[in-house]
Amino acid sequence: MKFFVDSADLEAISELADIGLVDGVTTNPSIIAKSGRNFKDVIKEICALTPGHVSAEVVATQAEQMIEEGRHLRKIAENVCVKLPLTLDGLKACSTLSREGTPTNVTLCFSANQALLAAKCGASYISPFIGRLDDIALDGLELIEDIRTIYDNYGFETEILAASIRNVNHVKDCALVGADVMTAPPAVIKSLASHVLTDKGLAAFLKDWENTGQTIL
């Protein structure tokens, strides 16, 4: 499963990239707004940190304007992936941009039928928001499973990008049901490495080693 970082924090993205845990980055208008910086500058700098796709979202709501914005965003860097909302206008823009060879990420997906439409329109990625479904007492993981079955049934190449990841269990469950990609905040990705028994075991090993009085170097 690919790991995308859902952030515009350049330092955090760079730290995870150095470890080898960044296959791409997702952003949205809210994330960019929190950075307090120029949108295009931030996207360009993020694109320099990873060869993977970096999602940059349009803000227009009409198809023709979305297409125009998408073409403009694509000029920022070769690895820009244009992010579009799952509306009929967004799907129309997705079809046009995809035919032009632009990677697309159709976002705010909350049903398998929506995911089917995005695949039909040539989306590179579909982003089902599992955490937001959980918030209203629906099963976000069931949605991932349904999309996986539909895509496999018909050989769609659209990648399932699990979004709105809130915790480490979401990551594990998405991997188990076959999501192609997951995107999560840096803190969630880093917490995947944490386990109380790992910490306890390492402390015991280091104590025993110290008692030998030896060094490796």
109 φ, ψ (degrees, to nearest 5): -90, 130
HSE-CB of 96 using CA atoms within 13 angstroms: 16
Task: Find how far residue 168's CA is from the centre of its chain.
Answer: 15
HSE-CB of 141 using CA atoms within 13 angstroms: 12
Which one of 83, 92, 172, 200 is the catalytic residue? 83
* Alpha-carbon gap, residue 161 to 12, rounded angstroms: 20
172 belongs to the catalytic site:
no
Which is nearest to 46 in space by CA: 69, 1, 16, 19?
16
Answer left, alpha or beta for residue 145, where phi above 0 means left and psi between -120 and 50 means alpha.
alpha
Structure tokens at 34: 């929190």
Catalytic residue numbers read 83
